[in-house]
Each structure stands twice: as structure tokens, then as C-alpha cells.
Structure 1
């Protein structure tokens, strides 16, 4: 199918209308921590409890999220622009992305944000190539609702870019 500019704009607007949440995904290994602000996280199963996490190829966190790796998904609260802004800028590999933020330790030993409305403690169990992204399946071993806030949601004007 050949897509014209007009078709591309219409399709981009339609894809961008797909609502998602806002999350901080993190993994700590060998004394280093990688994080990313993510919007493409979705529950994938009940038994075992699982989620999918979509990661753009080449993102620094990608090398931390291989099969068997620990991962924490922090569910952000609506209106929490401070946390979103903090993680949106990205971090060099030698910088602690949690510096200055209140954290606690999940049962797996991974840090999570105390100010999140919930966290999920999980392990990457499989991956699937999706063109310019990777779809990761993570099985959840523990988690907790930390507050009764409303989860942040996100839509995009153009489904072909962040």
C-alpha cells in the first residue's frame, strides 16, 4: 500500500488517539541503573500476572532488559509533571536517575519510586521484534498500590512519533 501525505496524517492522528498511561520503567544491574519514561506498558495476562513493555531500539535501557532481567514499572500519577520532567530528560549511564527522589526497595532488590501510585516488580520473560521497537513480556512477582491517585494518561497528536 502506498501512503500519501494526506493518508499518513490521517493514520497518524488515528494511531495517536490510542490512550496509554505514563510509567517510569527501571532496571538495576551490576551497580548501574537504567530508566525510561514509558507510555507503552499494558497488562498482558492474569495467570501469571504479566505486562508488555515497548522499548525503542537503541534506547540505553534496552541492554538492561534482556530475558531474565529484573524490571520495575512505576505507575505515575495524573498531574505529576515534576517526576515526568525529571525522567523525560534522560540520563548518562554513570548518573543515578533516582538521585534526589524518594525511593524504596522492592522484594527483588530493585528500587521503586515512593511517590508513584503503584509499582510492579517483574522479570523479563520474552521479547518480540517490532520493527523500530522491541515488545518485552514481563512476569510480575510482586507490586503494591501506594496511593489512591488517578493514573496519568497520554495521547499523541501524531501516532508516528513520541
Structure 2
């Protein structure tokens, strides 16, 4: 115990709480990472997406080690990052639900025609990416990809995500 009566455990707990709140204030966007594999459309919500380079342009997506996407997308494969707005709450709700076998998460969601991977017709923008590599980052893998195509689709503001605690989604 120190002079104020705090123990090392309470000090450590308070530090972790403070760090969790601070990390939670790091603003991020809300994205749908979409892909097609063996003719099947799939995807996942992500808030851990950022631009990671200019020449060539690079996109980095942090993917939880438990996500099946890590077994599906390999170097050379392509996928799409859809930038979402508040107008895309239907997409958010569909992909936030736990997956059930036979479920079509894209049912009722307007998609852009003529694209290899699902592109939200009313998303803010989309970026087609080609997987370069993965890098380990504790409980996530950093998917590093070259941005090879993209388009702004609407003038909507991107959805912003803040967490109450930076130690969870």
C-alpha cells in the first residue's frame, strides 16, 4: 500500500480503465469488407481500416485472429472496402447479427451492378484492394493490401465509430 492507501492492483486497474477510455476515443470509420469466394458473397464489418501508403496506395485492415476471412483471402486475392454512412444502417444491422448457416447477409441490400465483389450501391465510396501480405498484431492480423480501384458513390458523410472502452468492439 502507498501513502494514499492505494494498492498496486487498484493503481493498475485505474490505469487500464484510463487507457481503455483513451483508446475508445480514437475515432474510426465503419466499413464493410466484402469479397466473393467460390461464387459466394461474404463480408464482415470493420472499424479497423486505414490508408497505409501513397505510392502505391495501401489499405490496412486489422482482422481478428478468429475471423474466417483469414483463411479465405490470400496474397493476390482481391476484396472491397465499402465506406459506410448512417444511410447504411440496414447493412450494419445485417452484418452485426451472428452468422447462421444458409444466411444471406446481402438479402435486401442494394448492390452496384457489374462488380466482382459486393459494392454497396448507396455506400459513401468503395475501394477494390489486392492482398499483399499479413502481419501479426497480437489478437489481430494486419491485412496489407494495394488499393487498385475505387469510386466515391455519394456525398454522404462517412459513419464514425467511437467505443466506450478501447479493449473491445
Gaps of 5+ in 1: none
Matched, 1:148 2:164: no
The answer to whether the 8 A contact 1:34-1:93 is kept is no
Q: Secondary structure at the match of 2:19?
A: helix
Q: How does 1:82-121 map to 2 (within 5 A)?
A: 82-92=90-100, 94-105=102-113, 109-121=116-128
**Match among 46, 57, 65 for residue 49 of structure 1:** 57
Shift of residue 94, structure 1, vs aligned partner:
4.1
The CA deviation at 1:80 is 3.4
Larger Rg: 2
| Equivalent residues, number | 160
Q: What's the TM-score once normalised by structure 1's chain length?
A: 0.90
Give CA deviations for 1:6-25 in whole Å, capped at 9, x if unaligned.
11101111111111000000
List alignment gaps of at least 5 residues for structure 2: 1-8
Pairwise CA RMSD: 1.8
1:89-121, Cα deviation, whole Å (9 max, x unpaired): 1434643322221112465x2221111110011
User: Residue 76 of structure 2 contacts residue 132 of structure 2 at CA under 8 Å; is this kept in 1?
Assistant: yes
Residue 8 in structure 1 maps to residue 12 in structure 2: no
Aligned to 2:3: none
Q: Does 1:80 align with 2:88?
A: yes
The two structures have a TM-score, normalised by structure 2, of 0.87
Higher mean Cα deviation, 146-155 or 94-103?
94-103
